[in-house]
Structure 1
Amino acid sequence: MSETRDPRPRRRRLLRAVVGLLVLLAVIGYFAVQRDSNGGGGAPFCVAGADPIGAEETSATYEMSPEQAANAATIAAVGVAKGLPDRAVTIALATAMQESALRNLDHGDRDSLGLFQQRPSMGWGTPAQITDPVYSAAIFYDHLVDVPGYSRLPLTVAAQKVQRSGFPQAYAKHEPDATVLTAAFAGGGTLNCGGPAPAGPGDPARVQADLIRIFGKDGTHTMSSQAGQDGQAGQDGQAGQDGQAGQDGQAGEAGRNSDGGSGAPEAEVRLVEKKNGGEEATRHSRAMAHWAVAHAKTMGISRVSYGRHGWVGGKDRGRWQDKGGAGGKDAAHYAGPGEVRIFMAR
């Protein structure tokens, strides 16, 4: 004898599934609106991609928080400053993605700390040093280059020879995303960061000091910081001497401002490639420009200009735009060939 089942439980399950799907779509739509609201001034986010500045996105991308982007930018910048190949940067980024998810952790297994979960008890440095992203990245690279033939080894093998992890195969899963990040920070790719414009004023001396810490011995750029109130120059220095900026007291271009000629000028840090710097100087310029974008939120950076393109905090959905971000009307923020200009929020 056949048995007729009550269809109501099945209908209720279907209804719950439909309602759940609608809620999920609503949440996704909400965050999409937040991201795109105010021209990119919604929820903070960063997207790294392998495509060049100004190109349509056709390749893989990797999305992350501003905190993660800032740490990734620092790891890549340290590798670039050391003159290491893209492969070294990819290995370092994949390692940090596995160890800390690109977060500068103040805890870990036993006494492990920082981006790479390095241990003071194992000779990696003091807790203060290990939780300094510049130091931790630098010492990781120092150990990596001591591995014979590291650039030809599988990423997992190279990373494991440095880290001595209990889970050596875990690094491999991050290689595709780490490759995208390397292209964005050290190669010909792009980092776009959206979200609100910086809420507080930036300090050009702080930005310059951090760049000198990373790139001070590269010898490929001259570097200057310019005050934003009275048009007087701040410190002017040459990267590659002793890691310190000198003073020459010249105003240079500090009198430029955002409205093309009136009002108080914005403070800025300017980096200019030396003549005959070649591809090394270009690589450093790209790393510096994207480092500045990644650190905009925490360092009060309002805009970055590199070559014929510019990024403006809180505008254009966080994307780089042609001609300084606002066309010919924004000539005061235009960077010439071989220049990176970093402007501070007021």
Structure 2
Amino acid sequence: MPRTTSPTRRSRLARITAALVVLAALCGYMTVQYITSSKVVDGCVVESADGSAGERRTFRMSPEQAVNAATIAAVGTSRGMPERAVTIALATALQESGLRNIEHGDRDSLGLFQQRPSQGWGTGKQILDPVYSAGEFYRHLAEVPGYSRLPLTVAAQRVQRSGYPQAYAKHEPDAALLSAALTGRTPAALNCSPPRATAAGADPAKVRAELVRAFGKDVLPAADKAPAEGAGAAGSTAAGIVSVPVPPAPESAEGSGKDAGNGGADRRGWELAHWAVAQSEALRLDRVSYGGRVWEAGAGWRTERDDTGGTDVRIRLAL
């Protein structure tokens, strides 16, 4: 005689099944929140200058998020875009991907800005290149008349065509804090915490290549782009030091002359220095110096007059 399942057992199985379904849904929700969250416990932190009441604002992010944020800022300023454009781009990426270069999204959306190959943003491989995707965002933003004077939600929506345009607004304060640091307006504002003994094996050629990818070919002297194998970078004082000249920032794409948010060699120097700090874990950098301040892995920023680099940003690799 076949064995039958009692009503009590069937009820218990139904409850277990329902609980597993709820647990799976919760796990899925938490995964999405982890991917798109822009807050982390460890990694990198940006601090504002003292406010009128002595208050500081902070924004924490992972090393991966810091690399992507610094890349977005570098691509913008290298195109002559003002700080407001960088703020719009960062707020958009915070909403769309949490500053993570994700390989999935709604339909065929990809990358930092969730751009879609089917909508003409480029191939999947191109969109997953942060330099390319940021460049495409700025290209479309520059075509929006008066974008710098529009509310951030309106400017971002003109580019993104999102189903939830108001969602960009909640990221504006953090994006403004990030852009002030990453475009160099707030000196020594970005600190990352890789171990003091950063893993050795850094590649000077890779550091120079990433600088050129983010900031353009003119960021380094011609002789510094392809040094002889085994030699230190041209313009550097020793092997393992990449010395980056600090020219005036490029002219703004909006308006005439230098944009107030981009002008000045000092600001350009801090932009380059913060880029290097953001890249410290990815590129295995253990020291960055500029403007009488020195950042070291595991220690952060301190004041230390270092005249050996002149007005250059000096980046030391863990070799």
- TM-score above 0.5: yes
1:345 and 2:302 matched: no
Which residue is 1:294 aligned to?
Answer: 278
| Unaligned stretches of 5+ residues in structure 2 | 1-40, 251-257
Q: What is the aligned partner in structure 2 of residue 322 from structure 1?
A: 303
Cα distance in 1 for residues equivalent to 2:194 and 2:220: 30
Equivalence for 2:184: 187
**1:215 CA displacement:** 1.9
CA separation of 1:225 and 1:289: change in aligned 2, threshold 3 A = farther
Query: Counterpart of 1:271?
Result: 244
CA contact (8 A) 1:44 1:65 kept: yes
In 2: Cα distance, 1:104 partner to 1:214 partner: 16
Residue 46 of structure 2 is matched in structure 1 by 48
* 2:254 aligned partner: none
Conserved 8 A contact 1:80-1:284: no
Contact 1:91 1:158 in 2 (8 A): yes
* Partner Cα distance (1:182, 1:267) in 2: 29
Q: Are the structure 2 counterparts of residues 111 and 226 from structure 1 closer, same or farther at C-alpha, using a change threshold of 3 Å?
A: closer
Q: Work out whether 1:77 is the aligned partner of 2:51.
A: no
CA–CA distance in 2 between the matches of 1:233 and 1:101? 37
CA distance, structure 2, for counterparts of residue 303 and residue 227 of structure 1? 21
Q: How does 1:128-139 map to 2 (within 5 A)?
A: 128-139=125-136
Paired with 1:82 and 1:345, the residues of 2 have a C-alpha distance of: 31
Q: Does the C-alpha gap of structure 1 residues 162 and 168 become closer, same or farther in structure 2, counting only changes over 3 Å? A: same
The answer to whether the 8 A contact 1:309-1:322 is kept is yes
2:14 equivalent in structure 1:
none
The one-letter amino acid of 1:67's match is E
Cα 1:160/1:134, change in 2 over 3 Å:
same
> Which sits farther off after the overlay, 88-97 or 282-291?
282-291
Partner in structure 2 of residue 335 of structure 1: 309
SS in 2 for 1:107: coil
TM-score, normalisation: structure 1: 0.69
SS at match of 2:66: helix
Residue 305 (1) aligns with residue 292 (2): no
Q: Are the equivalent residues in 2 in contact too, given 1:226–1:267 (CA < 8 A)? A: no
Report how many aligned residue pairs link the two structures.
Answer: 261
Q: CA RMSD in A?
A: 2.7
Aligned counterparts, 1:237-256, within 5 A: 253-255=236-238
C-alpha spacing 1:69/1:253, structure 2 compared with 1 (3 Å): closer
Unpaired segments of 5 or more residues in structure 1? 1-42, 237-251, 256-265, 325-330
Take 1:188 and 1:298, find their aligned partners in 2: how far apart are those partners? 24
What's the TM-score, normalizing by structure 2?
Answer: 0.75
Higher mean displacement: 112-121 or 57-66: 57-66
* One-letter amino acid of the counterpart of residue 298, structure 1: A
SS at match of 1:270: strand
Describe the shift of the 1:86–1:320 C-alpha distance in structure 2 as closer, same or farther (beyond 3 A): same
User: Percent same amino acid at aligned positions?
Assistant: 53
Alpha-carbon distance in structure 1 between the residues aligned to 2:248 and 2:131: 28
1:17-62 Cα offsets, whole Å, 9 max, x none, are xxxxxxxxxxxxxxxxxxxxxxxxxx8411112329xxxx843111
What is the CA-CA distance between 1:288 and the residue it aligns to? Answer: 1.5
Partner residue of 1:173 out of 170, 175, 179 = 170
